[in-house]
């Protein structure tokens, strides 16, 4: 099991006192709750992509920077969760760049950008038909 920050374990201990469904001898229940809490805390952290190991995090930041340069949308908006048209298009471009350069699946891309894979499918399709299709194709050629 991966190392868990102490604050999550402390929160788990507090929750155990209040939730009677999780017995101290029930490692599966505690483990499931620990995983849920980790995912929830990662989802609320808007500064970095959730569920992404450092290499993928760097790739997402690179793609967000490229999309920001190409579209004129701030990098924080590309990585954010606001649903503005410009932000969503730039985010779709960043997703398409990650898929083109790194060969990620829709699910991998969705996890890295905190989106559902169906959202990634739609966003990438729009980006590939949009004005940045040449940029995406260039990244695809670079990756081989």
100-130: per-residue pLDDT in tens? 999 999 999 999 999 999 999 999 999 999 9
Contacts of 109 (CB under 8 A, 6+ apart): 95, 98, 99, 115, 117, 120, 124
Q: Which two tokens stand for residue 48?
A: 């970095």
Token pair 């849920």: residue: 36
Contacts of 114 (CB under 8 A, 6+ apart): 43, 49, 50, 51, 81
The whole-number pLDDT of residue 73 equals 95
pTM over 0.75: no
**What is the C-alpha separation between 133 and 99, in angstroms, rounded?**
13
Neighbours of 52 (CB within 10 A): 19
Question: In this predicted model, what pLDDT tens digit does every residue of 26-80 receive, in sequence order?
Answer: 666 667 767 766 666 665 554 444 454 788 889 999 999 999 999 999 999 999 8
Helix (H) or strand (E) holding 127: helix 117-129
Tell me, which fold does domain 54-143 have in CATH? Chromosomal Replication Initiator Protein Dnaa; Chain: A; (1.10.1750)
Which residue would you say has higher pLDDT here, 18 or 93?
A: 93
Q: Which two tokens stand for residue 40?
A: 């929830």
Question: In this predicted model, what pLDDT tens digit does every residue of 79-108 receive, in sequence order?
Answer: 988 889 999 999 999 999 999 999 999 999
Nearest partner of 39 among 64, 63, 4, judged by Cα = 4
The whole-number pLDDT of residue 1 equals 44
Which residue would you say has higher pLDDT here, 79 or 3?
A: 79
With residues binned 3-state (H G I as helix, E B as strand, rest as coil), the percentages for the chain, rounded to 5, are 70, 0, 30
**What is the C-alpha separation between 111 and 107, in angstroms, rounded?**
6
The whole-number pLDDT of residue 46 equals 46
Q: Give yes or no for residue 23 having a pLDDT over 70.
A: no
- For the chain, the distance separating the N- and C-terminal CA atoms, rounded to the nearest angstrom, is 35
Residue 51 contacts residue 111 (beta carbons within 8 Å): yes
């Amino acid at each position: 099991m991966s190392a868990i920050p102490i604050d999550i374990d402390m929160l788990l201990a507090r929750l155990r006192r209040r939730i009677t469904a999780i017995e101290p001898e029930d490692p599966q229940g505690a483990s499931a709750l620990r995983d849920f809490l980790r995912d929830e805390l990662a989802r609320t952290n808007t500064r970095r992509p959730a569920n992404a190991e450092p290499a993928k995090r760097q790739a997402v930041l690179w793609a967000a920077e490229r999309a920001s340069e190409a579209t004129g949308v701030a990098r924080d908006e590309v990585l954010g969760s606001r649903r503005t048209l410009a932000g969503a298009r730039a985010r779709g471009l960043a997703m398409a760049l990650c898929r083109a350069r790194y060969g990620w699946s829709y699910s991998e891309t969705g996890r890295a950008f905190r989106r559902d894979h169906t959202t990634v499918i739609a966003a990438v399709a729009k980006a590939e038909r949009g004005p940045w299709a040449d940029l995406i194709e260039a990244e695809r050629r670079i990756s081989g």
